[in-house]
Each structure stands twice: as C-alpha cells, then as structure tokens.
Amino acid sequence: MLILFIIPFIIFLPWFNNESKSVFLQETFKPDIKINFNTIDSDQIKNLELFSEAGKEFTYIANDKNGKQVMGKISAISKNEVQTFLEKMGFKVSSIEETSIIIGRKEPFVPY
C-alpha cells in the first residue's frame, strides 16, 4: 500500500518543482510569422468575380416548332432567363413556374 502512494509522488514530483516549470517555459517556440498584405491590393484580387446567385428550379410548358406541347424542368436564376433560353431553343413558352431552390437532395438521409 505504501508503494502505491510513493510511485505517483515520484512521477509527479517534477510538476511541483519550480525549476522544471521555468525550463519548460524557456523551451517554448514562437514562430516568426510575416503576412504580406500587398497581395490583397493586387489587381488579381481586385478583379475577382463575385459568386453567382443560387439557382432555382423552374417547371415549364411550351410548344415546339411543330406545335407539340413539351413539359420540363430547368434550373436558372430567374424566370426571364428561362424564358430567354427556351425562346432561343425555338420554343413558344406557355407557362413557367418556380418549383424550389436547388440546394442538395430533398431527403439527404435516404439512400439512393
């Protein structure tokens, strides 16, 4: 029983000794860090483009060149962008409805 009391005392004795603490503090390393802030003022940083807006999902109904009705989904930033895109593809747009914002999966915890 006496041995169990003496062993921790011997192991932890240096922690209570003031000399060991001062040696530990003297050995700490402080890195010399220099930051160049001129990079932030460079032309490459000033000319960066901002992130684009988050896309939204739209459902559309349109008629193709033959008059056949076509339905589909498309992602874009706005209804005007969807309208312009579909008209450039040769569709006559009947309706455009926003369905949801596209961010990840609808049910992320359900396996594929």
Would the pLDDT of 91 be above 90?
Answer: yes
How far the first Cα of the chain sits from its last, in Å, is: 62
The domain locations on the chain are 56-101
Q: Which pLDDT value is given to residue 97? A: 93
- Rounded to 5 degrees, φ, ψ at 59 are -105, 135
Torsion of CA 65, 67, 68, 69, to 10 degrees: 100
- Rounded to 5 degrees, φ, ψ at 6 are -80, -40
Q: How confident is the model at residue 16 (pLDDT cuts 50, 70, 90)?
A: low
pLDDT tens per residue across span 17-54:
555 555 555 566 778 888 888 888 888 888 887 776 67
CATH, domain range 56-101: 3.10.20
State how far the Cα of 33 lies from the Cα of 62, in Å rounded to an integer: 61
Of all helices (H) and strands (E), which one includes residue 17? none
Retrieve residue 76's tokens: 């874009």
Q: How confident is the model at residue 112 (pLDDT cuts 50, 70, 90)?
A: low
